[in-house]
């Protein structure tokens, strides 16, 4: 085992495509970070609110003006007007339908997977710095633009891509890095707490085959915390 880096940020997104919450520690199960993308906004045809359009997802950019957090045993959604609603309670669907201008439902994951692909997403700090440089910024790209769950302190840009097909450990958790993450327009969009970042998708398209960061699947569940060493 060699040390690959240190976990410097942990992020969970309780509702798909909404702004999420930074954590100091979290349990990880065979689905990923417990509570990550547990909920999503569904339109009347059963498609998930997202920043892109596919068979599963529908582009509904209003979702990026919302944020979600876990409070005790429930998830709260904060609307732009300051109202807070609780996922799974009737007022949430009414408030969100008003926000989206159509009937929607905030529902937990069931038949339709809420994750895009891998169970856990990871990016290195050196990659974020390099992406910032490539975009002409004086600072690293915020990992929330990439919706990364784990941010690992690294020395070389994109070195996490070299961990594909490798098992890595942090805390009690063992992950297998499975693939690079192909990006979409969501990386450029304004969201709660973050300004728009025009040009990032163009940069990763031209220089990195649209990829930045990696997906990993869970091999062994357990607890993980900020400051844990990543080894592999």
Instruction: Tell me how far apart the alpha carbons of residues 223 and 27 are, in angstroms, rounded to a whole number.
Output: 4
- According to the model, what pLDDT value does residue 25 have? 98
Instruction: Tell me how far apart the alpha carbons of residues 52 and 211 are, in angstroms, rounded to a whole number.
Output: 16
CB 41 within 8 A of CB 70: no
pLDDT, average across residues 121-140: 96
Selection from 12, 9, 188, 222 nearest residue 115 by Cα? 12
- According to the model, what pLDDT value does residue 113 have? 85
pTM for the full predicted model: 0.95
Instruction: Tell me how far apart the alpha carbons of residues 232 and 210 are, in angstroms, rounded to a whole number.
Output: 26
What does the angle CA 120 – CA 193 – CA 200 come to, to the nearest 5 degrees? 65
Average pLDDT, the chain: 95
CB 42 within 8 A of CB 179: no
Selection from 115, 137, 119, 120 nearest residue 128 by Cα? 137
- According to the model, what pLDDT value does residue 137 have? 93
Q: Is 123 helix (H, G, I), strand (E, B) or coil?
A: strand
Position 54 pLDDT exceeds 90: no
Bridge-based pairing of strands 48-50 and 57-59 is parallel
Maximum Cα interatomic distance, the chain, rounded to a whole number of Å: 53
- The domain segmentation of the chain, as residue ranges, is 3-33+116-231, 39-108
What CATH number is given for 3-33+116-231 in this structure?
2.40.33.20
Structure tokens at 227: 């400051």
Position 198 pLDDT exceeds 90: no
Selection from 127, 135, 181 nearest residue 154 by Cα? 127
66-123 pLDDT, tens digit per residue, is: 999 999 989 999 999 999 999 999 899 999 999 999 999 999 999 888 888 789 999 9
């Amino acid at each position: 085992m060699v040390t690959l880096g240190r976990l410097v940020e942990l992020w969970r997104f309780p509702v798909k495509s909404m702004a999420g919450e930074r954590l100091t520690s979290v349990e990880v199960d065979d689905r990923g970070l417990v509570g990550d993308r547990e909920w999503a906004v569904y339109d009347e045809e059963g498609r998930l609110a997202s920043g892109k359009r596919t068979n599963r997802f529908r582009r509904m950019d209003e979702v990026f003006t919302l944020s979600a957090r876990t409070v005790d045993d429930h998830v709260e959604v904060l609307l732009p007007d300051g109202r807070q609603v609780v996922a799974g309670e009737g007022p949430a669907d009414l408030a969100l339908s008003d926000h989206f201008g159509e009937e929607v439902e905030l529902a937990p994951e069931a038949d339709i997977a809420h994750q895009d692909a891998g169970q856990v997403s990871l990016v290195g700090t050196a990659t974020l710095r390099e992406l910032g440089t490539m975009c002409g910024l004086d600072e690293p790209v915020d990992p929330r633009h990439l919706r990364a769950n784990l941010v690992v302190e690294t020395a070389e840009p994109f070195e996490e891509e070299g961990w594909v097909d490798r098992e890595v450990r942090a805390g009690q958790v063992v992950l297998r890095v499975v693939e690079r993450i192909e990006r979409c327009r969501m990386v450029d969009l304004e969201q709660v707490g973050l300004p728009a970042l025009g040009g990032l998708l163009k940069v990763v398209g031209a220089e990195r085959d649209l990829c930045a960061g990696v997906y990993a699947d869970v091999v062994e569940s357990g607890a993980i915390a900020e400051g844990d060493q990543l080894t592999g």
